[in-house]
Structure 1
Amino acid sequence: MRILHHLPLSPFSRKVRLALAEKRIPFELRVEKVWERREEFLAVNPACTVPVLQEANGLSIVDSSAICEYLDEAYPDMPLLGRTLAERAEVRRLVAWFDQKFYAEVTRNLLFEKQMKRLLGRGNPDAASIRAGYANLKPHLEYIGWLAETRAWLAGPALSLADLAAAAQLSTLDYIGDLDWSISDGAKDWYARVKSRPSFRGLLADRVSGVTPPPHYADLDF
Structure 2
Amino acid sequence: MNTSSPNSTIRLYHVSLSPFCRKVRLVLAEKRIEVELVEDRYWEPDSELTRRNPAGKLPVLRMDGRLLAESQAICEYLDETHPQPPLMPAQSIDRYEVRRLCAWFDDKFNAEVTKPVMNERVWKKVMRQGYPDSRTVKAGLSAIRRHMDYMRSLLEHRRWLAGDTMTLADFTAAAHLSCLDYISDVDWTHSIEVQEWYAKIKSRPAFRSLLADHLPGVHPAPHYALLDF
Taking structure 2 as the reference length, what is the TM-score of the superposition? Answer: 0.91
The structure 2 residue matched to 1:69, chosen from 43, 55, 76, is 76
- The answer to which of 38-47 and 65-74 deviates more is 38-47
Deviation at 1:144, TM superposition (A): 1.5
The structure 1 residue matched to 2:138, chosen from 131, 135, 146, is 131
Which residue matches 2:179?
A: 172
Deviation at 1:114, TM superposition (A): 1.3
CA–CA distance in 1 between the matches of 2:58 and 2:163?
29
Deviation at 1:81, TM superposition (A): 1.8
The structure 2 residue matched to 1:41, chosen from 49, 57, 61, is 49
Which residue matches 2:4?
A: none
Matched, 1:158 2:165: yes
| 1:1-222 aligned within 5 A | 1-38=9-46, 40-55=48-63, 57-120=64-127, 122-222=129-229
Q: 1:36-81: CA deviations, max 9, x gaps?
A: 25464321112322110001x4301011111112111211222212
Aligned length: 221
Deviation at 1:131, TM superposition (A): 1.5
Q: 1:140-166: CA deviations, max 9, x gaps?
A: 112112222310111011110000000
CA–CA distance in 2 between the matches of 1:205 and 1:121?
24
AA in 2 matched with 1:16? V
CA–CA distance in 2 between the matches of 1:145 and 1:138?
10
Taking structure 1 as the reference length, what is the TM-score of the superposition? Answer: 0.94
- The answer to which of 92-101 and 127-136 deviates more is 127-136
Percent identity over paired residues: 51
Name the structure where helix makes up a greater proportion of residues: 1
Is the contact between residue 98 and residue 168 of structure 2 (CA under 8 Å) also seen in structure 1? yes
Structure 2: any 5+ residue segments left out of the alignment? 1-8
CA–CA distance in 2 between the matches of 1:66 and 1:210?
32
CA–CA distance in 2 between the matches of 1:121 and 1:211?
13
Point out 4+ residue stretches in structure 1 off by more than 6 angstroms. Answer: none
Distance 1:205 1:106, change over 3 A: same
Question: Could you say what the CA RMSD is over the residues aligned between the two structures, in angstroms?
Answer: 1.5
Is the contact between residue 182 and residue 224 of structure 2 (CA under 8 Å) also seen in structure 1? yes
Structure 1: any 5+ residue segments left out of the alignment? none
Deviation at 1:205, TM superposition (A): 0.8
AA in 1 matched with 2:105? F
AA in 2 matched with 1:156? G
Q: 1:82-124: CA deviations, max 9, x gaps?
A: 1111110000000000101011011112111211134446554
